[in-house]
Amino acid sequence: MERSFNINSPAEFESISLQIELKNINEFTREMNLNISWQALEPDFNASMKRFGKKVKIPGFRPGKIPRDRLLQQFQPNIEAQFMDDNIQKYYLNGLQEKELVPVNQAEISDVHFHFGEHFSFTAKFEVEPEIVLPKMKRKTLDVQRMKFISDQQDMDVAVDQLRKAHARIETIEDGAQEKDFILCDLQKLDDSGVPIIGKKFEKQLLKVGDGSFTDEQKEKLVGLKPGETARINLSDDREKTSSSPYELMVINVEREILPEVDTDFVKLVNPDLDSVEGFRDEVQNKIGENFDSRSQQSFERELTDAMITKVDPGAPPSMVDNYLSNIVEDVKKQNKGEPLDEDKVRETYRPAAERNLKWYLVRKKLIEENELKVERKDVDQEIENLVQRSPASEKEIRKFYRKPSNRKRLEDDLVEKKILDYLEQFANVKEVEVHTKDIRKDTHGY
């Protein structure tokens, strides 16, 4: 009898005598051939047959009282199938325990052989985490770059404008929209002949005049509009996968963002402890420096972990990658809120990141194990105290937040990650590289 199964992986099972042949297909794929003699499995077969006998009815016999020979004569293939369903996982799990293996996916069961009075054999193919071998680490083993960002006046202007926008006031405009104004409007989608499409009216939409999504021609149609007026424009419609569609726009309101002047009143509004525009600009410059320092550190840490991944060069089990991508797909579905989703495209987009993150997971795990990089409860408690000292006004919220076990665990993981990075940094060959922020803007925005 040949059958194929998918079964779940391990739990604790009573050990039995098994003949096991284990093959390494590659660094993470294992093929385990199991063979159990009739003498070893007969008690389990009898138990399966007894359970089977309680479920069938034969005239002249009470359930559970049917003679063994009569059951075998009439139902032997069914009993054999029942026995395999009842016990194949048990023998598989015993084989895993015997070989001290922990699968990362469901096993594929094939080549199943069993008949009453004969041995029981099958093959289980599954994946495990690959064995990670860390290289001998020496000084300057890992080649990495540390970026030093050189900011300029435009960074200052952008930062100040962001603060001005955060404290801007909104005025309703009656004399016609200008560039950078906001138009609150209803949008009615039209067909190619200009007839409104039923069910395609979108109320109270906010459009910015001169936003990058508009051509100059489109922008000119919005400039000068007043409440109650209408205009016909074209808008891209990603939801329907079309390049653009005609809409009739009806203006409800025109609003203008009025930014405050940078004076002492504005400075006090931003930070009551400051008393001059010069002090305000110095503080902004310090914040810009801190932000770029943080960005530099994040980039350096990424380079450090990537260098270690390259040095170890582990394999990523396909089943782990697929599971990782399935979780990403589910997250994207939630973000899309029911909108159509090309799952294959999502998987293709995120596959490199999934493979990289799983490789780092495997290397990280080995680093922790070999170097005993642990974090004690007292270390977590001390870090919480450090957070409280840095933000004393938020002490109650901080302590409440870290009373939740999952938040404490994340903090513990962050502290372990810091220990790993500190350990790797001693083997880094660091090249300092200056990066002018104007070049970043040019690459990102083209100016």
Mean pLDDT over the full length of the chain: 89
- Percent of the chain at pLDDT above 90? 70
**Average pLDDT of the residues in 194-206:** 93
Confidence at 58, pLDDT banded by 50, 70, 90: confident
**Average pLDDT of the residues in 72-96:** 88
Residue 445, burial from CB neighbour count under 10 angstroms (0-12, 13-18, 19+): exposed
Q: Which domains are present in the chain?
A: 5-127 (3.30.70.1050), 169-258 (3.10.50.40)
Q: What is the pLDDT of residue 212?
A: 61
**Average pLDDT of the residues in 189-217:** 85
The yes-or-no verdict on residue 286 having pLDDT over 60 is yes
Q: What is the pLDDT of residue 204?
A: 94
Comparing CA positions, the residue from 166, 157, 168, 163 lying closest to residue 256 is 168
Which tens digit of pLDDT belongs to each residue from 228-266?
A: 999 999 887 654 445 678 999 999 999 999 999 999 999
Which tens digit of pLDDT belongs to each residue from 296-351?
A: 999 999 999 999 999 999 999 999 999 999 999 999 988 887 778 889 999 999 99
Q: What is the pLDDT of residue 218?
A: 79
Q: What is the pTM of this model?
A: 0.74
Q: What is the pLDDT of residue 241?
A: 45
Q: What is the pLDDT of residue 14?
A: 41
The yes-or-no verdict on residue 145 having pLDDT over 80 is yes
